[in-house]
Amino acid sequence: MARRPAFQIAVARYTGGKSDPKGPRSAFRVLEMPLPRVLPHLMIDSRRNDRLRSFLPGVQRLSLEGDFDRYFAVYAPEGYARDALELLTPDVMVCLLDHGRRWDIEVVEDRLVVASHRFRAASDRAEVTAMLLFSELVARELGHQAGHYTDPRADRPRTQVAAAGRRLRRRSAAWSTAALALAVAVMLGFPHLLGWWLDRS
Q: Identify whether the C-beta of residue 40 lies closer than 8 Å to the C-beta of residue 76.
A: yes
pLDDT, tens digit, for every residue of 105-140? Answer: 999 999 999 988 876 655 578 888 999 999 999 988
Number of H helices, E strands in the chain: 5, 6
Q: Identify whether the C-beta of residue 51 lies closer than 8 Å to the C-beta of residue 24.
A: yes
Q: Reduce the DSSP state of residue 101 to 3 states and report it.
A: coil
Q: Identify the weakest region by mean pLDDT among 8-12, 57-61, 114-118, 187-191.
A: 187-191
Helix (H) or strand (E) holding 92: helix 90-99
How far apart, in whole angstroms, are the C-alpha atoms of residue 14 and residue 29?
12
Q: Identify whether the C-beta of residue 3 lies closer than 8 Å to the C-beta of residue 181.
A: no
- pLDDT for 29 beyond 80: yes
Decide which of 74 and 55 is more confident. Answer: 74
How far apart, in whole angstroms, are the C-alpha atoms of residue 118 and residue 100?
13
For the chain, percent of residues with pLDDT exceeding 90: 46
pLDDT, tens digit, for every residue of 170-192? Answer: 754 444 434 433 433 333 333 33
Q: Identify the weakest region by mean pLDDT among 11-15, 50-54, 72-76.
A: 50-54
Mean pLDDT score of the chain? 78
